[in-house]
Amino acid sequence: MTGPAFDAFIYIFFALEMVVKMVALGIFGRRCYLGDTWNRLDFFIVMAGMVEYSLDLQNINLSAIRTVRVLRPLKAINRVPSMRILVNLLLDTLPMLGNVLLLCFFVFFIFGIIGVQLWAGLLRNRCYLEENFTLSSGMTLPAPYYQPEEDDERPFICSLASDNGIMSCTDVPARREGGRTCCLDREDALHRQALGLSPEPLANGSGAGEAMGLCINWNQYYTRCHTGNSNPHKGAINFDNIVYAWIVIFQVITLEGWVEIMYYVMDAHSFYNFIYFILLIII
């Protein structure tokens, strides 16, 4: 039996079962069919299937209705008494977990406030050009601030002068092109431009230039740490407000990528910020 045919057979079986129970017990009332919680779940599944098949007949595709199919295995619980007892027991214990959820929210709230107070905006720190930096016509910069090849996944986050972070703009590595470290500076480019040559020899594609690393090391001019506009991972990782702080805290306690987040904060603020993350995970 093919997949769609078997699915239709299962639906017809459930629908006939529902009709038989309704005839035998009645529909409305305390001891009738809809008076039992499990029967109401079966009724909802059958009605959703009816809507799904009616939409198929009209060539209307509504994927939200099709997702109700995943609830059909729950009908098996209604036929195993021990499973019903276990599920009912789990549902009865949910209200007792209120205090646990309140404690979890309290921990999130305290650590979120600490994160916002200490690191709001710091993960947007980037190394920009010095304020009096100018260029003549015909010369362009690779980027307004230093951007590694994997800038969104592993951005270079610097520490402001008022903080004691690990990374500073003096740690920006030299620019590399063609596997070679660039050795020219802005004055060399201006001199070549005055001679009517290309400011950057690598633009000509000369093999000798590539071998000697004759390209401008623009990275040496990204010396000013300043707060920009972009946070890591497309803006998802930051402590700019309490909501984003809760998202970061949730990711940290799942132990998924928490080390990178800790390094971001240590680079921007202080080496001793690892205490915050260790305490958060332990608590």
Q: Find, among 119, 219, 116, 129, the residue nearest to 159 by Cα.
A: 119
Give the mean model confidence (pLDDT) for residues 216-237: 88
Q: Is a pLDDT exceeding 80 seen at residue 6?
A: no
Long-range contacts made by residues 144-152, C-beta under 8 angstroms, separation at least 24? Answer: 145/222, 145/226, 145/228, 146/172, 146/219, 146/222, 152/232, 152/233, 152/234
pLDDT tens, residue by residue, 173-211: 988 877 788 888 877 777 776 676 666 666 555 554 444
Label residue 13 by pLDDT band (50, 70, 90).
Answer: confident
Higher pLDDT residue, 25 or 211?
Answer: 25
Higher pLDDT residue, 66 or 158?
Answer: 158
Give the C-alpha distances (Å, rounded to integers) separating 114 from 5, 110, 230, 255, 272: 58, 6, 21, 20, 14
Of 49-53, 87-91, 195-199, 253-257, which range is least confident? 195-199
pLDDT at site 78: 66
Angle between helices 274-282 and 98-119 (to 10 degrees): 180
Spatial contact of 177 and 210, defined as CB atoms under 8 Å apart: yes
Q: In 182-256, which ranges are continuous DSSP H helix?
A: 186-194, 207-212, 242-253
pLDDT tens, residue by residue, 231-278: 998 889 999 999 999 999 999 999 988 999 999 999 999 999 999 999
> Could you tell me the two tokens for 136?
């003549």
pLDDT at site 208: 47
CA atoms within 13 A on the CB side of 137: 1
Instruction: Fill in the amino acid letter for 258.
Output: W
pTM for the full predicted model:
0.67
CA atoms within 13 A on the CB side of 56: 11
